[in-house]
């Protein structure tokens, strides 16, 4: 596998282990599931119930995605009481959340290759697991870690470090894939490759300015960076 992929390749730029990454940590929203519209509806309802009439500042909220909801409320100066209706509506609207095209197939191929996978999400852990269970994807991950299950959520490295420990993975052979700058910061803190996913239609300029180790344009691109099974009789790598 080449060290650097450029031009029309799905990765820009990338430093890849010689035989590919052997573990993958994923963000959830904007990488595995397309939850933007459901989050907008839940946030708007919570804002109306707690703050009152007026347009909910979802565009600003969206700039902080990847962080734990209470942390976003503190940053925005909004009432922490918004969390309860936001979570309630998120559960209610969960059946409307689609999985990105190609994600399930990509995850199954990683399973076939024996590559361990984790989710490190800004959501609370139980809510993330409930959503993945409903979508039939939970068995495709070795561990799902929520922001409420570590001392310091993103952009701190705690969730990624927890994932490395559970997966038994080495940092230099692991990549963290996310669609927000906070994901890249968390990855760097854990000394794993910081990889940006842009298939959700995010503002690429913001992610590129953060200097990711790689940029992936569709879920199948993940596989191009990962180790492949050794054929029977091929001997050690």
| Catalytic entry in 3, 29, 142, 158 | 29
Q: Which of 9, 27, 142, 179 is catalytic?
A: 27
Length of the chain: 237
β-bridge partners, 194? 176
Look at the alpha carbons of 98, 173, 141, 145 in this order and tell me if their dihedral is positive or negative.
Answer: negative
For residue 115, the 8-state DSSP code is -
Classify the phi-psi angles of 188: left when phi > 0, otherwise alpha if psi is within -120 to 50, otherwise beta. alpha
Shortest CA distance to 123 belongs to which of 26, 25, 29?
Answer: 29
213 is catalytic: no
Phi-psi region of 125 (alpha: psi -120 to 50; beta: other; left: phi over 0): alpha
Can you tell me whether residue 176 is helix, strand or coil? strand
Instruction: Name the strand (E) or helix (H) holding 196.
Output: strand 193-197
CA-nearest of 184, 176, 174 to 204 is 184
Contacts of 57 (CB under 8 A, 6+ apart): 47, 76
> Cis omega before residue 130 (within 30°)?
no
Residue 29 designated active-site:
yes
Helix (H) or strand (E) holding 117: strand 117-121
The residues assigned a catalytic role are: 27, 29
């Amino acid at each position: 596998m080449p060290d650097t992929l450029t031009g029309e390749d799905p990765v820009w730029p990338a430093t890849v282990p010689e035989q590919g990454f052997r573990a993958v940590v994923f963000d959830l929203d904007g990488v595995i599931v397309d939850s933007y519209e459901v989050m907008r509806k839940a946030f708007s309802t919570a804002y109306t119930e707690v703050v009152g009439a007026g347009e909910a500042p979802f565009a600003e909220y969206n700039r902080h995605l990847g962080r734990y909801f209470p942390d976003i409320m503190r940053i925005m100066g909004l009432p922490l009481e918004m969390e309860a209706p936001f979570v309630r509506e998120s559960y209610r609207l969960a059946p409307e959340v689609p999985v990105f095209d190609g994600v399930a197939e990509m995850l199954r191929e990683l399973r076939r290759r024996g590559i361990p996978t984790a989710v490190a999400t800004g959501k609370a852990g139980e809510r993330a697991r409930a959503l993945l269970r409903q979508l039939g994807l939970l068995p495709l991950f070795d561990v799902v870690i929520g922001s409420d299950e570590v001392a310091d959520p993103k952009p701190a490295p705690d969730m990624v470090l927890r994932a490395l420990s559970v997966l038994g993975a080495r940092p230099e052979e692991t990549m963290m894939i996310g669609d927000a700058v906070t994901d890249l910061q968390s990855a760097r803190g854990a000394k794993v490759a910081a990889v940006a996913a842009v298939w959700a239609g995010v503002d690429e300029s913001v992610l590129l300015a953060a200097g990711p180790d790689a940029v992936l344009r569709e879920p199948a691109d993940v596989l191009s960076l990962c180790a492949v099974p050794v054929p029977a009789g091929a001997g050690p790598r």
